[in-house]
Structure 1
Amino acid sequence: MSKIPTLELTPGQDAPAPEAPKDDNIVIDSTGRVLKLAELDVLAESRLIRLVGAEAAINQAYMQLYVMPAMAVVEIDAEPMPLPQTQREIDAAISRLGHHGINAVIKHWAKQREDKADQADKEAAEKAALKN
């Protein structure tokens, strides 16, 4: 019986190191679900606008408080969430996320904006201190 050659890679032996999880795209909602977020690319955004229609797309409350948070979630508890292709799928994504998930995503985004503003203020203060 001939032996079938196999290739075994061990860490450090030409195998790429596993990528560390990025905490800035992981959110845990109030029910304990782990939500993985991803920003929509420009093509996905344009398709989403066409999908919901012009009237719904200009409804900021609907888009910012329901649609965009639901579209940002790409995994719930490590289960992939495909990008919706129909209005019915958008509604299902919003429903699946629910108030707990949507609130967690919105709070996460608010904290990210706050952190960016704080960082910008800190950098501006450091620049001002260097001028003096």
Structure 2
Amino acid sequence: MEPVFAALVGLFFAVGIYLMLSKHVVRILLGVVIFGNAVNLLIFTAGRILREVAAIIPEGADTPVGPISNPLPQALILTAIVISFSFFAFLLVLAYRAYQEIGTDDTDGMRVAEPAGEPLPPIGY
């Protein structure tokens, strides 16, 4: 099962990087989301996929009775999901506001520092 998840992680990374290299802001944002999901799946796969019981110690025992699953990767992934969702929401609002101001989501068209119809700045003073 782990080789399948490893291949899926590689596919997610490839698609995420491909989308982040685009010139459109929406595709870049989707690439960031897919890249974040690839990282989460990588952490989950690196924590080993086991079909063991949850890490609950029974009453009256000091240590777990049998083999248990590792809760650390699950806790890290849960935290990463919350952080990546808030990061995506911030970037989405930022991209929408930029689209409202500039009128395009193309990164080449967002060059407001060098408007097309304006004269060039002076070369020397």
The normalised TM-score by structure 2 is: 0.35
The normalised TM-score by structure 1 is: 0.34
CA radius of gyration, larger in: 2
